[in-house]
Chain A
Amino acid sequence: MSLPIYDVIVIGTGAGGGMAIKTLCEAGLKVCALNSGRRLDPAKDFRNHKQAYDLKYRGFGDPRKRDRYYHVETEYTEGLWEHGIAYTTAPGTEWEWPRCHAVGGKTNFWGRSAARMGDIDFKAASRDGFDVDWPVGYEEIAPYYTRVERMIGVASTVQHRPSNPDGDYLPPMKLRCLDYILQKGCEKVGVPYLPDRLAQLTVPHEGHPACHYCGNCTEGCDVGAFFSTPWFFLPLAEKTGNLELRTNAVVRSVLADGNGRAKGVAYVERGTKREVEVYGKAVVVAASCIESARILLNSKSGRFPNGLANSSGQLGRNLCDHLYGTTAYGYLPQLLGQPSFPDNVSSSQVVWMPRWQNLENPRAEKFIRGYSIYPTGGCGEFPWYHRQLEGFGSQLKRDIKRYYPTPASFYCQIPSLPSPTNYVDIDPEVKDIYGIPAVRVHFQWGPNELLMWEHAQEVSRQVLAASGGKFWGAGARPNTPGFSLHETGTCRMGNDPRRFVTNRFGQTHDVPNLYVGDASVLLSCSDKTTTLSLLAFALRASEHLVENMRRGAA
């Protein structure tokens, strides 16, 4: 009996995997896509149009389960996040890692901020002497950014910011009352306040409907009005007839043949725990940053004793993440007692304060590189600010009503710098319930990011004051590492096979028919979110693979 040999096996159906699947299928290649979780059904699985009073615990979740909940998981998204697959942390590491293993991965719930990186990021090492430049300059990747923006739809404005190349945008989200007030404050302090780059459809786009501004995007969109691979890419891939999608396939390893080429993938079926092998002429690993590293580190053989594509020893190294945290919160007295207004139209993702530090002089601040801030506020849902208001009775009801439009808060997005002490490896003791050795995370915030955290708190407080706002407080400490879901590194790309896992096309240096197609190839996380960049690089990698297969070179 001969098993089918696919052209390409793609591991993962999130942003990077979805892009690879779509690109390869449209190029006429037969693709077998493996996803470790199930397909979601928006009608059943997305509860974004439920009101708090429709839910048993009013959205607060079953208290007996709360220990197992991550911050991102609520009663609205319960059951959609991964808890079955174990990971461990090294002593001293705190790592909070919300994972969605359903088809589409984190694109089902992502924050939708979609800014391009630029040469200030790619050539940062040349500017400040830290680490290495990316093997790709902006000119080279810009056309891919444009194509990705057209595929997914990004709403923003042309802003001419030195740190933020402009793109091809849909009309922006409109500014809210609080935005105009905070924008004035930012003007006085001398920092930018602009519409975010938001992958949310302000107009119908490519057959997808415009947003209806229900404000619950992070609970999944049941009409597909923002980019996610189940709504945008997988239907296009299915239409070609070239895709076979296998769900609940938990990958154990990538299989190599005697010539050092990838020949297939071994996985465990989630329900039955049956061991399965699937064969292909090429493999794309896009299981998300840490999972991709884990799969390759677990792909050991006589020829590859340290894992597949790891002759550099860099597989799993250089793990970066965004430091998130509330840098200030308070209220805007100007809006006290005003009627309620639909401020939370996009999970509050409307504006940003894009990087303004170290633009001219890369060492102007006490830290190198830079960060961005996302301000938000206004009428949300639950009046969380009640703790700021004393008393009870009619006065309390009136105060809660009066303050409803006024809250304002600032959330930072601070890149960690690559560090030799931040990495993942395989836990020598622990296996997950499928018998696959667990990944172990080693991670601490470094001094550069903590200096930025202090700086961001100071500036946020200044902006609030300059806007006429009153300060209530700030996060006592940054969020736990892992929380931002913006891991990068572990399979960094570079020209030197001794120092990097893949070349600048995402093709591994050691195994020519093995590609990496997710954020693990990015050299650092910068102040921008990772999704748009990983999509652009995954598109480029996929086309490189197609071309190589045509020429018989991969």
Chain B
Amino acid sequence: MAGQGIERREILRVMALAAAASQFPGFHRWAFACGHVGAPPGAAKPAAYTPQFFTPEEYSTVERLSELILPSDGSPGAREAGVSEFIDFLVASDPGIQYGFRYGLTWLDARAEEQYAKPFRGLNAEDQTVILKRLAYKDQLRAGEEEGRRFFNLIREYAIMGFYTSRVGLEQIDFPGLKIYSESPGCPHGDDPEHLHLPPPRY
């Protein structure tokens, strides 16, 4: 987002100088901790990622599921945000959820094998979507698929965590905290306090 780089840092530096008159002697360093170390977020990732937790087969299923949950559909999705890498990293860091992921991926392959005689990652997008829809919508759930639904909710949760904490994800919802403000921003619809006559929804 424009304004996030040097400009914002500059504003913060000036504000810090304004405060220097009352500076506490213990606070002596005024470098602001908003620099981005290393590659800029959203930059192209190396082609090959070596998963820390998942097997290569599991990882390719995680990748595929992430893309189905948050597709690149004209705007960035899980792929651009590196969501599957984030999931692998978090699962590797969290023994408490490893079983749930591993069991869920196995469940999904078993379901795909049963129905299409192929693992989930081997199915075409249409068939993958058919399976996911039954897990994603309460009114389409079939008896015996509750474990699959639990796994879908788990991986959906982690995909959303990964996407909406990435730079492209936060840009997509236009997260206002990517900017700072010179005054308290108030509601711009002063003549319509009940907000019954807003412009038509933009999204």
Whether B2 is near chain A, meaning CB under 8 Å from some CB there, is no
List A contacts of B95 (CB < 8 A): 64
A-B contact count (CB 8 A): 236
Q: Which of A62, A206, A213, A340 has the most CB of B within 10 A?
A: A213
Whether A261 is near chain B, meaning CB under 8 Å from some CB there, is no
Per-residue CB contact flags for chain B residues 21-56 toward chain A (1 = under 8 Å, else 0) read 111111111111110100001000000000000000
Least Cβ distance of B11 to chain A in Å? 7
Which chain A residues (229-249) contact chain B, with CB distance < 8 Å? 230-232, 234-236, 238
* Stretch touching chain B among A85-93, A308-316, A396-404: A396-404
Beta-carbon contact of B19 and A379 below 8 Å: no
Whether A425 is near chain B, meaning CB under 8 Å from some CB there, is no
List A contacts of B115 (CB < 8 A): none
Whether B195 is near chain A, meaning CB under 8 Å from some CB there, is yes
* Stretch touching chain B among A52-60, A299-307, A515-523: A52-60
Whether B150 is near chain A, meaning CB under 8 Å from some CB there, is no
Whether A390 is near chain B, meaning CB under 8 Å from some CB there, is yes
* Stretch touching chain A among B69-77, B105-113, B116-124: B69-77
Whether A391 is near chain B, meaning CB under 8 Å from some CB there, is yes
A345 to B175, CA, bound (A): 12
Which chain B residues (88-108) contact chain A, with CB distance < 8 Å? 90, 93-97
A54 to B166, CA, bound (A): 9
Tell me the count of chain B residues lying within 8 A, CB to CB, of chain A.
Answer: 79
Given contacts A58-B162, A63-B94, A184-B193, contact A50 B34 (CB under 8 A): yes
Beta-carbon contact of B16 and A223 below 8 Å: yes
Which chain A residues (36-94) contact chain B, with CB distance < 8 Å? 39-44, 46-47, 49-54, 57-60, 62-64
Which chain A residues (284-324) contact chain B, with CB distance < 8 Å? none
Beta-carbon contact of A60 and B161 below 8 Å: yes
List A contacts of B29 (CB < 8 A): 41, 43-44
Beta-carbon contact of B93 and A57 below 8 Å: yes
List A contacts of B203 (CB < 8 A): 337, 339, 398, 401-402
Beta-carbon contact of A181 and B194 below 8 Å: yes
Give the contacting residue for A392; candidates B26, B68, B183; CB below 8 A.
B68
List A contacts of B167 (CB < 8 A): 51, 53
In chain A, what residue has the closest Cβ to B179? Answer: A342
List B contacts of A398 (CB < 8 A): 203
Least Cβ distance of B27 to chain A in Å? 5
The SS class assigned to the A binding surface is loop
Give the contacting residue for B201; candidates A60, A204, A338, A387; CB below 8 A.
A338
Beta-carbon contact of B170 and A52 below 8 Å: yes
Least Cβ distance of A453 to chain B in Å? 29
Whether B143 is near chain A, meaning CB under 8 Å from some CB there, is no
List B contacts of A113 (CB < 8 A): none
List B contacts of A382 (CB < 8 A): 161, 164-165
Beta-carbon contact of B186 and A176 below 8 Å: yes
Give the contacting residue for B69; candidates A176, A214, A343, A396; CB below 8 A.
A396
A339 to B178, CA, bound (A): 15
Least Cβ distance of A87 to chain B in Å? 26
Whether B198 is near chain A, meaning CB under 8 Å from some CB there, is yes
List A contacts of B165 (CB < 8 A): 52-53, 58-60, 382
Beta-carbon contact of B164 and A336 below 8 Å: no
Which chain B residues (147-203) contact chain A, with CB distance < 8 Å? 156-157, 160-162, 164-167, 170, 172-189, 193-196, 198-203
Which chain A residues (373-415) contact chain B, with CB distance < 8 Å? 379, 381-383, 386-387, 390-394, 396-398, 400-402, 404
A322 to B11, CA, bound (A): 38
Least Cβ distance of A205 to chain B in Å? 11
Whether A344 is near chain B, meaning CB under 8 Å from some CB there, is yes
Beta-carbon contact of B26 and A339 below 8 Å: no
A335 to B195, CA, bound (A): 8
Whether A546 is near chain B, meaning CB under 8 Å from some CB there, is no
Beta-carbon contact of B187 and A39 below 8 Å: no
Beta-carbon contact of A213 and B136 below 8 Å: no
List A contacts of B23 (CB < 8 A): 235
List B contacts of A58 (CB < 8 A): 86, 161-162, 165-166
Whether A418 is near chain B, meaning CB under 8 Å from some CB there, is no
In chain B, what residue has the closest Cβ to A200? Answer: B184
Beta-carbon contact of B22 and A344 below 8 Å: no
List B contacts of A397 (CB < 8 A): 70-71, 73, 75, 77, 172
List B contacts of A234 (CB < 8 A): 24, 26
A147 to B187, CA, bound (A): 32
Given contacts A176-B187, A338-B198, A339-B174, contact A49 B164 (CB under 8 A): no
Give the contacting residue for A340; candidates B77, B162, B174, B180; CB below 8 A.
B174
A202 to B73, CA, bound (A): 42
Beta-carbon contact of B187 and A174 below 8 Å: yes
Beta-carbon contact of B70 and A337 below 8 Å: no
Whether B15 is near chain A, meaning CB under 8 Å from some CB there, is yes
A184 to B189, CA, bound (A): 14
In chain B, what residue has the closest Cβ to A399? Answer: B203
A202 to B189, CA, bound (A): 21
Whether A455 is near chain B, meaning CB under 8 Å from some CB there, is no
Whether A460 is near chain B, meaning CB under 8 Å from some CB there, is no
In chain A, what residue has the closest Cβ to B174? Answer: A340
Least Cβ distance of B137 to chain A in Å? 6
Give the contacting residue for A222; candidates B16, B28, B156, B186; CB below 8 A.
B16
Least Cβ distance of A83 to chain B in Å? 20
Whether A436 is near chain B, meaning CB under 8 Å from some CB there, is no
List A contacts of B77 (CB < 8 A): 397
Q: Write 24 A-B pairs (CB below 8 A) sorted by A numbering.
A: A40-B26, A41-B27, A49-B33, A54-B36, A59-B165, A60-B90, A63-B93, A63-B94, A103-B26, A175-B187, A177-B195, A212-B15, A213-B184, A215-B176, A223-B15, A230-B27, A231-B24, A337-B201, A338-B199, A340-B173, A341-B185, A342-B181, A345-B185, A383-B173
Starting from the known contacts A59-B165, A230-B27, A235-B25, 4 additional A-B residue pairs (CB-CB under 8 Å) come to: A175-B187, A177-B188, A234-B24, A391-B136
List the interface of chain A (C-beta within 8 A of B): 39-44, 46-47, 49-54, 57-60, 62-64, 103, 173-177, 179-181, 183-184, 202, 204, 206-216, 222-225, 230-232, 234-236, 238, 332, 334-345, 379, 381-383, 386-387, 390-394, 396-398, 400-402, 404, 468
Return the 10 tightest CB-CB contacts between A and B, nearest first. Answer: A337-B201, A174-B186, A63-B94, A342-B176, A52-B165, A340-B174, A58-B165, A213-B181, A180-B193, A39-B26
